[in-house]
Structure formats: C-alpha cells, structure tokens
Amino acid sequence: MTASALPDAPASRRLERIPVTIFPDHDAIAREVAGRIAALLRERAAEGRHAVLGLATGSTPLGIYRELIRLHREEGLSLANAVTFNLDEYLGIGPDSVHSYHRYMRENLFDHVDVPAEQVHIPRGDLPSDEMDAHCAAYEAAIAEAGGIDLQILGIGRSGHVGFNEPGSGRGSRTRVVYLDTVTRADAASDFFGEENVPLQAVTMGVASIMEAREVVLIATGEHKASIVRRSVEGDISSDVAATHLQKHAAARVYLDPAAAADLTRIATPWLLGDVEWTPRREADAVLWLSDRTGKPILHLSTKDYRDHHLSQLVTRGRSAEALNGEVFNRLISRIRGRSRLPEGRRILVFSPHPDDDVISMGGILRKLVENGNDVTVAYQVSGNIAVFDHEVRRYLDFLRRAAPILARATGDDGDALLAEVEREMDEKAPGDLDSERVLAIKRAIRETEALSAIEAVGLTDRHARFLDLPFYRTGAVRKDLVSEADVEIVIDLLNEVGPEIVFAAGDLSDPHGTHRQCLEVVDRALAAYEGEAPRLWLYRGAWQEWSPTEASVLVPLSAEELRRKILAIFKHQSQKDVAPFPGPDPREFWQRVEDRNRGTADRLRVAGLPAYYAMEAFVVLEGGTPIMDGDLPTAALGEKQDA
C-alpha cells in the first residue's frame, strides 16, 4: 500500500479474492499507476531492455496518460524504450476516425511523448473480414516476440468485461473478433452520439492474453462501477464476468476510488467481517441496514435482531437496543427540513453542470428557496450542446424557415441562405461525426431556451440565469479538455458578481462522460481562490444516484404536488425527453429516475418508522470539506429561518 492509499485493516479484506487498494480519488490512482510505469521504464532502461506495456482506452486511464505526459515534460521521463500493445479496437473504423482507439492513443499519449511509432501496436479494425484471423494471430505473435507484457492496465465495463471480453469469454480466449454485448453498446452510445451508431463488433485481446501479463492493474472509478467491482472481486470465477478470471492471476491488483469501492463488503457492511471501529455514521448505516433487512421500524428493533444479524457489538457496549434505536432515529429525523427550516433571504448560487441538472436534482428545494425570498442565481456551467439530437435542430430549422417570411416582412432581412447552409452541413454529416460550429451554436441555443423555460416553472426568470459555457467543454466531442485556469476564472468572476452566502453544486461521480466531475473541480478550485467570505457548500447528486439518508446532511420533503411540479419543470427540457442522447447506464427517462429516486428515499425512511413523506431530496452540506451531520448543523450558517 502506498502512502496515498486509504488505510484499512487486513481482516476487512477476507472476502476479496484480488488485492484491492482504495485511493482518495482518481488523480491519486493515476499518480500511483503512472509512477509504477515510470519505475518500470527506468528499470528496463538501466538493463538495456524494453518495457512492454499493455494499454487501455476509455475514460479510466486518461489520468494515467496525462501524468505520464507530465513526467515526460517536467521530469525528463523517457518512453523511448516502451513497447506498447493496446487491448482492443472497434471493427469497421479507420485509424483516423474520431471514434478510433488509434486516434485516442495518439491524441491522449503518443503525440506527447517519445515512444517510437514502430514500437506502438494497436489492433486494426479497418481490415477486410477475411484478413482478421491472420491479423489477430500476428498480434499474439508480436506480443510473444516482444517477450510478453510486463504491465497490463485494465478498465472494467458494467458487464464485467476487460478489453472487449464480453460475457461468455473463456479463460483460454485469445485475440479475436467479438460481438459487443448490449450493455457495452449502450454504455458506448455517448461516444457515438447514439447507440444505433455503435459498431456491432470489435477486435480484442483475449482473457488468456491478459492473464499472461506479468503484472495486471485493474482500475475502476465512480459509483456506477461499484456493483460489478464487488462481483468481480468477491464473487465466484465465471466466464459470464471476464474480470473474475483475474482472481487466478498471481500479480493482479485492483485500484478503486471510494465511489467504486462503495459496494465492497468491507465498505458497505463491514460488521459482517468482524469487529469494526464504530462512528456515529457507521452506527446509523448499520441500524438503517438492519431495519431494511428485518422490515422493522428502527424503534422496533430488538436486541435479538442485532444479535441475529452480526451486530451484537453494537448492543454490548453499555447501551441497550432501545437507547441505540432512539439515538439513530433522532439523528435521522433531525436532518429533515421543510420549507420553514430552509434558508431565507440569502444570496444563493446554484451551479448546474448541464442545463437540466438543476431541476432534475434540486427542483423541489429550488422552488422552496424562491418562495422563501432568497436571491437565487442559477449558473449553467457547460452548454450541453452535444447532447441534442440532430432531429431537434431540423425541427427548429423548419420552424425558422416557416417563420422567415413573417420575420422578413417585419425586419426586411432574408435568412434563407444561412438556413440552407446549415441544412447542407447537416446533410453531409455522417452518423456520429462532429457538428459544425453553426450547428453546435444552434444546439446550445436549444439547451439555453429550455433551461430558461424550466426555471420559470420554479419561479425564476432569465435575470436569474447565467450561461458560463466553460471552455473545457467546447470540443464538440464527448471527450473534454482538462480544466484550465480560464474555466476557474469564469467562475471566480461569477462569485465576485453574486457574492453568494450558499453555493449548490453537483457532487455526484456517476456521470458517464465525466463532465460533472470536471464541473465540480472548477467550483472547488474557484472557491479555494475566491477572496470573498467563504459560502456554505451544499452538494446534490445528478441523474444517476442519490445520497443515502445516512450520508445526507439535509433531507427536504416534497409533497405529491411539489414532485409533480418538479417533473413538469424537467419536461421543459424537450431535447432530453423521451430518449436522451446520453442516458448513461439507466435507460429510463430522467423524470422517471427522479420520481423513483425521490420517492424511494421517502419510502425507505417511512419503512424505518420516520414520518411518511411523499418524496424527498437529499443534500450534503460541507464545512471545510467535511460533511456536517445531525445536530452539528448551525442555524445561522445554514440560513435557516430564525422563527422555525
């Protein structure tokens, strides 16, 4: 374990069949893995040998490649003795395609370091089908000729695939052409601007090819990977989950951030493994878990319930079950705050990564804050323009063309030529290609008008909206630039303008294309540099996950009518309705997820014996980076009404 890894006790790992290390965040993982690669390169260079690296693509290894580039530029690390083999490539895609892993590797690593081109190996996806078997055999031979892979980097898909070894991939599989699983194609839909554009097949190194590497590092980040990580690490070996084969590798390791580790037994239910260090948060987790398991309200849990479910240690430390039940019940109920206990008369700045995250994640509290007389500003951090289907643009173009004669009579201007040019650009664009600047501008305008319509539904006007259009997002593609000082300065300027006493931001880590993570980074960096009085930071989650009742600092109840009005505000985002361009791992519409999520939080607390609210939104309030819980919530700092 390195100094940057989070500590744990060896006993807590006994269900884990692969060594697992949990790091504070994805940057710490990137530094660790890049540091190991750098050490290997230097060791082999000193021996006059090549270092053979197995490389992966996707969002998971980007931080590693960026750190290697930094080490090359700033610390003189040479990669001239690296021989690289990539895991996979889509079939039917040329190396210069925006979707090609050849291009991905050039743009994200090889164009910035000194690996000789002849030492780079990436499977070809553009060869005729009758040549693919020979190509796959030659790829295996090239790995063997290089002496085998020294260090293999892996990500993991929701189906448990490593490379493109989909469910059914056997232990003895080698480099070959495969059909992509439906889950894999759904997850790749955002990269291809629609699942219908995702190739049906790919070429991939096999499980046996991966298992022959001398060292393997599997990396996973984000909450959406938590369940498959647990299955891969704690479950039985099965060809249905290719990652489980790593349990038989002598030098395989798994590196996780806390979100991806959340479902591991040692994190989710550590009391099942033996003695644990009990904190108020862990006590609440255990008691609510016991309530869920037994179907009993918290105040009805008995000493026998605790003993029957491996929680004897909670009621053998001088406290009765009744006393413990009461303490946890009071902690949870203290977090419930209706409108009368929410901020009033405060300057509030809401950061919404995309132009719909505000109403999706906090549409209920947003209306309550407006009704409480707060001065609310909503700042949309990125344009969201790539998340608009082409047919939406065509619909607006048709409207403009039909409205053109009316506008021409009123203004004397004729926009037919411009409309025709935009339509030509769209007609010439192949499925999955990047949009022109003009089309991106129209899509941005669509998202902005929808956002204004949505906040009007909660009582705000265009005066309360700011569209920041942060530079890191302006690539026209799913993969974004790194956050820069230009992004941070835009947010600092807004902080200076608004002078907020409370800031809301998206704190979720499950956004499938990483924009929410980068938007939070911008907010964090801007707040650290902000010279005004530090505002209180409230974190909400986006369209994929919700804070659990034991994680949340504040639980805001919603009536049936308030939830209905929140959903109507979400409906204003017509370009995201019915079928969203980037739905992520959940196929439901955003409003459906919201309804189930908000009602689910309320139902879980109702079953636990707390007041039976119709729905609830959840928030984490931070003080110096640490969540404020229970009785620690200060009235004045929260902006709570003094007569509550």
Distances (CA, A) of 117 to 110, 120, 141, 142, 548: 8, 5, 18, 15, 49
Q: What is the pLDDT of residue 282?
A: 93
Q: What is the pLDDT of residue 426?
A: 78
Q: What is the pLDDT of residue 636?
A: 46
The CATH class given to the 341-388+444-627 domain equals: alpha beta
Q: Is 166 a catalytic residue?
A: yes
Taking 50 as the pLDDT cut, the residues of the chain under it are: 1-3, 411, 512, 631, 635-637, 641-644
Ranges of CATH 3.40.50.10320 domains, the chain: 341-388+444-627
Overall pTM surpassing 0.75 (yes/no): yes
The dotted CATH code for 20-266 is: 3.40.50.1360
Catalytic residue among 67, 89, 140, 166: 166
Question: 343-346, long-range: CB within 8 Å, 24+ apart, which pairs?
Answer: 343/369, 343/372, 343/374, 343/501, 343/502, 343/638, 343/639, 343/640, 344/372, 344/373, 344/374, 344/639, 344/640, 344/641, 345/372, 345/373, 345/374, 345/639, 346/374, 346/375, 346/501, 346/502, 346/639
Q: What is the pLDDT of residue 271?
A: 93
Q: What is the pLDDT of residue 148?
A: 97
Q: What is the pLDDT of residue 414?
A: 57
* CB distance 461 to 403 below 8 Å: no
Q: What is the pLDDT of residue 274?
A: 87
The predicted-structure confidence for 347-389, as pLDDT tens digits, reads as follows 999 999 989 999 999 999 999 999 999 999 999 999 887 777 7
The predicted-structure confidence for 612-630, as pLDDT tens digits, reads as follows 999 999 999 998 777 887 5
Q: What is the pLDDT of residue 586?
A: 67
Nearest residue to 239 via CA among 161, 333, 158? 161
Ranges of CATH 3.40.50.1360 domains, the chain: 20-266
